[in-house]
Structure 1
Amino acid sequence: MHNTAFSTRERGSLAGTGIGLRGPHFEQLLAAPSRVPWLELLADNFLARGGLVPAQLQRIAAQFPVTLHCVGMNLGGVDALDRHYLERIRAIARQTDAAIISDHLCFTALNGRHYHELLPLPYNDDVVEHVAKRIRQVQDMLEQRILVENVSAYVRASSTLSEGQFIAAVAQRADCGILLDVNNLYVNQINLGTDAEAALHALPIERVGEIHLGGYEDKGRYLLDAHSRPVSDPVWELFDKAVATLPEVPVCIEWDNDIPPLETLLAEARRATALQSRHRAVA
């Protein structure tokens, strides 16, 4: 196992449970920044150079530590990496002094066509090498390490590695960090019959730099990672097991659809913080 941890220094001033910044909460949060310790920005929403975007970023960065969460790196794709896109991400990271840049362990485009979906990859050694090479190139362009996030899946690809083994191998070969999405592990367990706890145990914990929590929709035959509901009880239970060994890792509450009042997200954040605090007390 590679012993290069995703360090506190790389996480910057992040601590506790932040939330994903969404438009309806923008002014409320800026008016009372003490309500949340940090914010995750969907970087692709801030790529425009003109209009209100630069001013919005300046206001946010002046009051909050931030992370950048991306959907456009296409880490698992075969198309050439988009240098212009990565240059814009690097510029935003510098403007906001972002503590973390992250994207997903998936592919999002093929032959120049963007699917606007996070499409899962087969778990095998060849894909590990392919993705790790692209991540190393991305990190060179951004001039910092990134986190890669496990994604939800709805069909099973032919694989020779488990989900946890695949994530661990990519992180070690690329020398990157891991953004652990606990909800996605649970969704895959229900949808595909994988073992979420086994995936947790397979991860190199020193590389986990952030945790995501969100809510799924139960569609009857499958679970949809919709980020439109409170975190479910089974996901809270899995999170509790995860933070037993990760009590200091920053956590982010995601809510992208059917966005509720800000207080709903803050209540979820308080619950996550309480669980982590309990484990810190006995560590």
Structure 2
Amino acid sequence: MTAAASSPLRLPPAAELGLPPSAGLGLHREHLDEVLGRAGRLGFIEIHAENFMSEGGPTLALLDQLASQYPISLHGVALSLGGEEPLDPAHLQRLRRIIDRTRPASFSEHLAWASHDGIYFNDLLPIAYDATTLSRVADHVDEAQSALGMRLLLENPSTYVSHAASDWDEIDFLAEIARRTGCGLLLDINNAVVSSVNHGWDPQAYLQRFPLALVGEIHLAGHSETRDDAGQRLLIDSHGEAIAEPVWLHYADVIARAGPLPTLIERDNDIPAFAVVAAEVAQAAAILARHARKAA
């Protein structure tokens, strides 16, 4: 563990308990009335941090209302933890203001890079799994955790290409970052399925090896399918479709082995009626309840 991680973090009170081992939903304005009306038996909600970085007004009033009703999972998309440049101190300050305001139970970000030379890209781009990148990401995670006063959950990526320079296995890479920094992991099961098809490896073997003891949250989402120029299957982590059956099957297996873990239903494109996503929340909740009874 690096020196920055050796000092204990001053966690918000909610973060000391973590998210409840229940099923939650990513927030979208199309579902705001139902969420504020506490429909769907949501165990928590996830908000994208970058949507709430205003200085005041109705956006922050909404944030206060949400935080008064639900445990909050704060999810970032623009820290660029895998980037070669230093973390943006202004962005860290904006994140810290949200954390101080909402006292979230969890904060997560991606194992990816999203900016270069001061330009932010609307994408989460893959990194090389090598010693140089590992050291840089660990330093960035340490810096972020220190600045935010929160333990970070690092999410496994969905990828479409791999770097020739990579000489680390993805799971070993994630586990080593966690060992060095004290961060936790966010297991996105759809990402594992997407990457497995795109790179030709076995998702079951990947999930069997994943260090579930480090997982503070699970994400479930949908993907789309196409063919590349060679006619091979290509999955896209689109978050615009229903959760695929293989993702549900892998999720049930993970929960059977790990026990109930906070589980988020993600739907970020082609947003359907609330009843549609509420049914997926209920499906995840049923799996969690089944295995909670077994553990009792």
Q: TM-score range by the shorter chain?
A: over 0.9
Tell me whether 1:273 sits opposite 2:275 in the alignment. no
CA contact (8 A) 1:179 1:209 kept: yes
Q: Structure 1: which amino acid aligns with 2:118?
A: G
- Quick one: distance in 1 between partners of 2:277 and 2:40? 14
- Quick one: distance in 2 between partners of 1:89 and 1:112? 18
Once the two structures are superposed, the pairs formed by residues 18-167 of structure 1 within 5 Å of their partners are 18-32=24-38, 35-158=41-164, 159-167=166-174
Q: Using a 3 Å threshold, how does the CA distance of structure 1 residues 11 and 70 change in structure 2: closer, same or farther? A: farther
- Quick one: distance in 1 between partners of 2:128 and 2:157? 12
Question: What is residue 237 of structure 1 aligned with on the other side?
Answer: 249
Question: What is residue 220 of structure 2 aligned with on the other side?
Answer: 213
TM-score when scaled to structure 2? Answer: 0.89
What are the Cα deviations for residues 114-173 of structure 1, in whole angstroms up to 9, with x where unaligned? 111100111223222211111011100011111011111111222222222222122222
- Quick one: distance in 2 between partners of 1:193 and 1:85? 37
Tell me whether 1:256 sits opposite 2:268 in the alignment. yes
What are the Cα deviations for residues 76-123 of structure 1, in whole angstroms up to 9, with x where unaligned? 011121111111111111211100011100000112121111001112
CA contact (8 A) 1:129 1:173 kept: no
Please state how far the C-alpha of 1:223 moved relative to its aligned partner. 0.7
Please state how far the C-alpha of 1:13 moved relative to its aligned partner. 5.1
> Number of aligned pairs?
279
CA contact (8 A) 1:165 1:199 kept: no
- Quick one: distance in 2 between partners of 1:34 and 1:193? 37
RMSD: 2.0
CA contact (8 A) 1:164 1:198 kept: no
Q: Structure 2: which amino acid aligns with 1:241?
A: D
- Quick one: distance in 2 between partners of 1:13 and 1:42? 16
- Quick one: distance in 2 between partners of 1:129 and 1:278? 40
Match of 2:179 among 172, 182, 188: 172
Gaps of 5+ in 2: 2-13, 228-232
Question: What is residue 4 of structure 1 aligned with on the other side?
Answer: none
Match of 2:210 among 200, 203, 216: 203
Please state whether the residue corresponding to 2:257 is helix, strand or coil.
Answer: coil
Query: Share of identical aligned residues, percent?
Result: 37
Gaps of 5+ in 1: 2-7
- More off after superposition, 12-21 vs 192-201: 192-201
Please state whether the residue corresponding to 1:209 is helix, strand or coil.
Answer: strand
CA contact (8 A) 2:19 2:73 kept: no
Question: What is residue 5 of structure 1 aligned with on the other side?
Answer: none
Please state whether the residue corresponding to 2:61 is helix, strand or coil.
Answer: helix
- More off after superposition, 133-142 vs 153-162: 153-162
Question: What is residue 246 of structure 1 aligned with on the other side?
Answer: 258
